Structure 1
């Protein structure tokens, strides 16, 4: 008798859509994809489960259908029910970028999707945009480590508009913007001439283009989609003024966080969760409130842009 494992054939729909999402797409309605990594790895329990409901409600409040994205039981899903959101927020999910999707599906695993993986699954489902907190980018010291987020390459080949609050200050912002330019991914500032720095409204770098309404953002996306099919775009909105993290506190936590990463040898996909935890602990929860505020604002903006797209 052969000792080889038998071949297992998996038959799944790529991706599986919730009824609400499928109905909205079929009727030409507005849909906003939401990433699940922020719930599974970016926010602590139980705030993450509350945030899942708040983000979906923010999308609905502005006339669009929310579609949280994850892989559960080896099935890529665009749109989750309450029980599935419970699983995402309950812990023990793998962190999945694009390279990990096939592995998770083939092995029947549960995983939360990053910006790159969410973009890929949203595009496959026909959802034109999604909201998140911060975009991944070029890490400091990348000349030596080659540590560059897969988000950037994914946007270069995935036709989705990403609504975010720029990138976290741990990153090399200038290099990140340079890579986006090289990959022909347009970066739009929403109501700002400055590229946001996640916890801070201004990263110290300018945005190439500015839009001031959902209608303008939708018009730019339509034109970009027609002229550069299959290439994504970034719509960067600063954190609300009242929710911006104090500058002195931010700078202290950043300095400490970078030292902590170096001391513990933390690299790659473990950097962001470690940094977020340090900011949360060191700010007595202030960074968490900022994080939630900016993600909520981005979900609302994405919904308004989605409605403008559907109406056009």
Structure 2
């Protein structure tokens, strides 16, 4: 069995049976510069604590899987260079080689399952990239959602993706996609899209009950909770569309591919929106942390 290193806070929560919420680490290493990355990570962790749960930020440091980071470890990760961006394919290799790695959605789900954590709050999931019919560029996040029993709270899929194809794949894989409090799916920086939600739930209690029912039925995989960005922080889809198209065109011209695509696009959209996209990103992650904590609390009430 893999050796997991729990932070003192997470170890205490496990011993006491308190609700836990997993957090990814690529937002720290690949999402924004130091010290803003660490400051944001601490804000997200604080939001989870304020809503009754315990945060567990996940990363690999020196070949060890850490579930929960101390203040010093968070600072170290925030300033580290050449940290691997890990998904299902390279997670084990990083551990075996003694490397440093930040976890994507898929890798965080795997680590959360190993640690017995049922809820994971993030920004947006990966999915089907534009032009995937030629590149076959589809995130491992989608298949992970069909395999690993973790409820993932996100503001939908990242808006730079082919959203209709992304949600079509999730439907094919049998992943429940639940819009929180509305009938339309959110589109990351935008609270709504033109895509109707397959499922709608209006409370953390409903979401927790659905997860417990899936377990009782022996169904594999998790749930995706699509939580709309707060209205005051959103960037309307009509405003974002030409910005995204420009960033995509630049990526194609420059030959940006594979794991480099998403960081490039997010960086260009940040520049083209004058920083608004990052402000919105932070707001939606905090919003997802609040809902993730509420779901974890409700799951704790239904532990049988």
TM-score range, shorter chain: over 0.9
Report the Cα distance in structure 2 between the residues aligned to 1:31 and 1:229, rounded to whole angstroms.
22
SS of corresponding position for 1:204: coil
Task: Quote the offset at 1:106 in angstroms.
Answer: 1.3
- Other-structure match for 1:279: 269
What is the TM-score when the length of structure 2 is the normalising length? 0.96
Report the Cα distance in structure 2 between the residues aligned to 1:249 and 1:141, rounded to whole angstroms.
22
Distance 1:268 1:228, change over 3 A: farther
Report the Cα distance in structure 2 between the residues aligned to 1:117 and 1:137, rounded to whole angstroms.
14
Matched residues, number: 301
SS of corresponding position for 2:89: helix
SS of corresponding position for 1:16: strand
Residue 300 of structure 2 corresponds to residue 296 of structure 1: no
| 64-73 or 206-215, which deviates more | 206-215
Report the Cα distance in structure 1 between the residues aligned to 2:8 and 2:35, rounded to whole angstroms.
27
Report the Cα distance in structure 2 between the residues aligned to 1:267 and 1:236, rounded to whole angstroms.
27
- Other-structure match for 2:145: 155
| 265-274 or 107-116, which deviates more | 265-274
The counterpart of 2:21, out of the listed 32, 35, 43, is 32
- Other-structure match for 2:244: 254
The counterpart of 1:77, out of the listed 66, 74, 90, is 66
Report the Cα distance in structure 2 between the residues aligned to 1:264 and 1:257, rounded to whole angstroms.
11
The question of whether the paired residues in 2 share the 8 Å contact of 1:13 and 1:75 is answered with no
Task: Quote the offset at 1:23 in angstroms.
Answer: 2.5
The question of whether the paired residues in 1 share the 8 Å contact of 2:3 and 2:64 is answered with yes
- Name the larger-Rg structure: 1
Task: Quote the offset at 1:229 in angstroms.
Answer: 4.1
Unaligned runs of 5+ in 2: none
The question of whether the paired residues in 2 share the 8 Å contact of 1:215 and 1:308 is answered with yes
| 116-125 or 102-111, which deviates more | 102-111
Report the Cα distance in structure 2 between the residues aligned to 1:99 and 1:179, rounded to whole angstroms.
20
Report the Cα distance in structure 1 between the residues aligned to 2:277 and 2:201, rounded to whole angstroms.
27
- Other-structure match for 2:156: 166
The counterpart of 1:90, out of the listed 79, 83, 95, is 79
Report the Cα distance in structure 2 between the residues aligned to 1:42 and 1:293, rounded to whole angstroms.
14
Unaligned runs of 5+ in 1: 1-11
The counterpart of 2:12, out of the listed 9, 16, 23, is 23
What is the TM-score when the length of structure 1 is the normalising length? 0.93
Report the Cα distance in structure 2 between the residues aligned to 1:197 and 1:43, rounded to whole angstroms.
21
Task: Quote the offset at 1:248 in angstroms.
Answer: 4.5
| 59-68 or 163-172, which deviates more | 163-172
The two structures, once aligned, show a CA RMSD in angstroms of 1.3
SS of corresponding position for 1:206: coil
- Other-structure match for 1:42: 31
Task: Quote the offset at 1:293 in angstroms.
Answer: 0.1
- Other-structure match for 1:268: 258
Task: Quote the offset at 1:225 in angstroms.
Answer: 2.4
Structural mapping, 1:1-312, within 5 Å: 13-92=2-81, 93-312=83-302
Task: Quote the offset at 1:66 in angstroms.
Answer: 0.3
The question of whether the paired residues in 2 share the 8 Å contact of 1:25 and 1:126 is answered with no
**Cα distance per residue 1:227-266 (max 9 Å; x no partner):** 2444111011011000001445412211111111111111
SS of corresponding position for 2:271: helix
